[in-house]
């Protein structure tokens, strides 16, 4: 996307910037594409395999029950990769955008914690955090940022095996987090969707829920998604490139 505000290609960006300068309530939703720009491998496409295993082979309660050591080796490998990367300009722009909107909620499908590292405060990690561990016995929750982790990690309180505090395939989202997301979507004036394929449920439906409640939709993605036809603004490109331009346009309008 060009940084020249006078091109036809940039009209959606300018229109969105003008609208965001006037709204009180904004919800942003981010997916794996935002993290991929920092070098975090995605489940889909290149880099989605580990030792010939797919994510769907490992990120399940059944896989953990069958071979918890293998699952923890995979998560320890992922934690090691994430520990070496940094938030990209897209993460940083969203953190800055939070300070410009009176009521802002960032919903992320990512478990890497990069939004918080970038400075975002009002973050709802609907799929959990790879840096948190949960006891399979007492249910205790703790943060553990060690890399590498001891294989396998055990609970300090009851001695039971710990698991990553993430939502696995076949598991439901935390009802409290889902309710928080739903309430924000109900009140949002604009919903901004960045770096997500729009196929992982229920997050894939969040934007349509917001639209039903009256929100206008904006999408930032390199390629069209199932959500694209429903959007009021479509900004084609990487979030790390488009979001800083959006902030620049907002400043110019103020």
Please say which residue of 166, 192, 218 terminates a domain: 166
Tens-place pLDDT, residues 51-109: 567 778 899 999 999 999 999 999 999 999 999 999 999 999 999 999 999 999 999 99
139: domain CATH number is: 3.30.1600.10
Cα–chain center distance at 127: 9
Residues 225 and 148 in one domain: no
* pLDDT value of position 2: 46
Q: Are residues 191 and 243 in the same domain?
A: yes
Q: Give kind and range of the element (H or E) at residue 69.
A: helix 68-83
* 127 catalytic per annotation: yes
**Are residues 33 and 119 located together in one domain of the fold?**
yes
Catalytic residue among 91, 115, 127, 182: 127
Burial of 6 (0-12, 13-18, 19+ CB in 10 A): exposed
What pLDDT, in 10s, does the model give residues 165-191? 999 999 999 999 999 999 999 999 999
Q: Are residues 60 and 70 in the same domain?
A: yes
| Cα–Cα distance measured from residue 131 to residue 111, given in angstroms and rounded to the nearest whole number | 8
Query: Which 3 state secondary structure label does DSSP give 89?
Result: helix
**What's the domain range around 146?**
41-84+128-166
User: For 115-126, how does the pLDDT look when each residue is reduced to its tens digit (9 = 90+)?
Assistant: 999 999 999 999
Q: Is residue 177 located within the same domain as residue 115?
A: yes
Based on the fold, state whether residues 248 and 193 are members of the same structural domain: yes
Same domain membership, residue 160 and residue 184: no
CATH number at residue 94: 3.40.50.1220
Quote the tokens at residue 176. Answer: 């409290």
Do the beta carbons of residue 149 and residue 72 sit within 8 Å? yes
Are residues 235 and 136 both part of a single domain?
Answer: no
Q: Do both 148 and 160 map to the same domain?
A: yes
Q: What is the pLDDT of residues 213-245, one digit of tens each?
A: 999 999 999 999 999 999 999 999 999 999 999
- Do 62 and 3 lie in one domain? The reply is no
Whether residue 6 is predicted with pLDDT greater than 50 in this model: the reply is: no
Band (pLDDT 50/70/90 cuts) for residue 246 is: very high
In the chain, how many domains are there? Answer: 2
Peptide bond into 148 cis (omega under 30): yes
pLDDT tens per residue across span 31-48: 999 999 999 977 655 555
CB–CB of 42/32 below 8 Å?
yes
Report the SS3 class of residue 73.
helix
């Amino acid at each position: 996307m060009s940084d020249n505000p006078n091109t036809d290609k940039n009209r959606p960006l300018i229109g969105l910037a003008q609208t965001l300068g006037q709204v009180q309530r904004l919800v942003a939703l981010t997916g794996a594409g935002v993290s991929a720009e920092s070098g975090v491998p995605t489940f889909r496409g290149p880099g989605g395999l580990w030792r010939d295993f797919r994510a769907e082979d490992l990120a399940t309660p059944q896989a953990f029950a069958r071979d918890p050591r293998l699952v923890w080796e995979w998560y320890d490998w992922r934690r090691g990769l994430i520990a070496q990367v940094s938030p990209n300009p897209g993460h940083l722009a969203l953190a800055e955008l939070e300070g410009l909107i009176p009521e802002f909620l960032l919903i992320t499908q990512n478990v890497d914690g990069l939004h918080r590292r970038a400075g975002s405060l009002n973050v709802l990690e609907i799929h959990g955090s790879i840096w948190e561990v949960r006891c399979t016995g007492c249910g205790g929750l703790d943060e553990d940022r060690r890399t590498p982790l001891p294989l396998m990690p055990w609970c300090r309180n009851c001695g039971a095996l710990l698991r990553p505090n993430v939502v696995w395939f076949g598991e439901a989202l935390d009802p409290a987090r889902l309710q928080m997301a739903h309430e924000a979507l109900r009140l949002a004036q604009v919903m901004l969707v960045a770096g997500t394929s729009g196929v992982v449920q229920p997050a894939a439906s969040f934007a349509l829920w917001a639209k039903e409640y009256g929100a206008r939709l904006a999408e930032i993605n390199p390629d069209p998604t199932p959500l694209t036809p429903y959007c009021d603004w479509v900004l084609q490109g990487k979030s790390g490139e488009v979001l800083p331009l959006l902030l620049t346009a907002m400043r110019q309008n103020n």
